[in-house]
Structure 1
Amino acid sequence: MSSPEHKKLIWDLIKDIKVGMLVTQDENEDGVMRARPMSLVQDAYDGSLFFYTPKSDAKAFEIEQDRDICLTFSNPKDNVYVSLSGKAKISEDQNLIDRYWNPWVAAWFKNGKKDPDLGMLVVKINKGEHWDSKNNKLVQLFEIAKSSLIKSETPNLGENEKFGTE
């Protein structure tokens, strides 16, 4: 798995993006993948990500059928892209629900923290990949042009790293 330093790097890349796209396999259609936005609620990353969700929502049933998921985060303005894969489950742990509760979440759950349909989506990340380019567009264009002229070079557009295991 990831080292504490790597977990900090991943958190630094996604914490300001806040909203990721959760990809699951649709339970009603053979092989169809579905993506929907999900908002981070935590203030640190230790290898798991947390999201509030109605237990009656389609994603909860899709996770029940196939717990493998993918989460993607992107910030095109800063050239940051992150893809995370892991195992998901729906938790009813009241301590976990209480821990991250905030007014924004309350707006989605009219019956509050005791809503019988309230669940916490817990995603244990086991692998991923990230791309992070600090270069501005002009530098990127230069790198691409240079690569076109010097066929033995590929453009250096920034950092790219795969991590994790199955």
Structure 2
Amino acid sequence: MSSPEHKKLIWNLIKDIKVGMLVTKSTKDGESMRARPMSLVQDAYDGTLFFYTSKSAAKAFEIKQDTDTCLTFTNPKDNVYVSLTGKAMVTEDRELIDKYWNPWVAAWFENGKDDPELAMLKVKINKGEHWDSTNNKLVQIFELAKSNIKESSTPKLGENEKFGTD
């Protein structure tokens, strides 16, 4: 997994992006992958991400068949890219539902917190990778041009780090 400092770094990269793409294996053939946007609901990260979902949503069935998931967060404007993999589960834990409930979520569930379809998706992250370039576009263009002139050099476009284990 990762240290508290690294978890803080990951949270700082994804918290303002808010929406990530959740990837699961399709239940139709068990091999093809399917992605859909999911909105973060928490205000801190300790190695687990939470999302609201409907119990009858395809992702809930897919996760019951195969808990392996991938979440990606991107902010091309700021050159931030994060890929996280982990194990997911669907839960009806009332404490979690109450803890993260907000008006945005309420708009999706007609009967509020008592909606019979309401559940939480809990994803325990075990590894990932992030790319973060604070260089402005001019510096990036310079690095790419320099790399093309010197065929052996790799452009220095920012930070890239892999973390975690299976």
Q: Does residue 92 in structure 1 map to residue 95 in structure 2?
A: no
2-structure distance, mates of 1:142, 1:54: 48
**% identity of equivalent residues:** 77
1:119 alignment partner, SS class: strand
1-structure distance, mates of 2:152, 2:73: 32
4+ long deviations beyond 2 Å: none
2:9 alignment partner, SS class: helix
Deviation at residue 29 of structure 1 after TM alignment: 2.4
Deviation at residue 149 of structure 1 after TM alignment: 1.1
For these two proteins, the number of residue pairs brought into alignment is 166
2-structure distance, mates of 1:110, 1:31: 33
Deviation at residue 94 of structure 1 after TM alignment: 0.1
Aligned AA (1:49): L
Runs (5+) with no aligned partner, structure 2: none
Deviation at residue 153 of structure 1 after TM alignment: 1.3
Q: CA RMSD in A?
A: 0.6
Runs (5+) with no aligned partner, structure 1: none
The corresponding residue for 1:149 is 149
The corresponding residue for 1:9 is 9
1:2 alignment partner, SS class: coil
Deviation at residue 30 of structure 1 after TM alignment: 4.0
2:109 alignment partner, SS class: coil
Deviation at residue 136 of structure 1 after TM alignment: 1.2
1-structure distance, mates of 2:114, 2:96: 12
Aligned AA (2:28): N
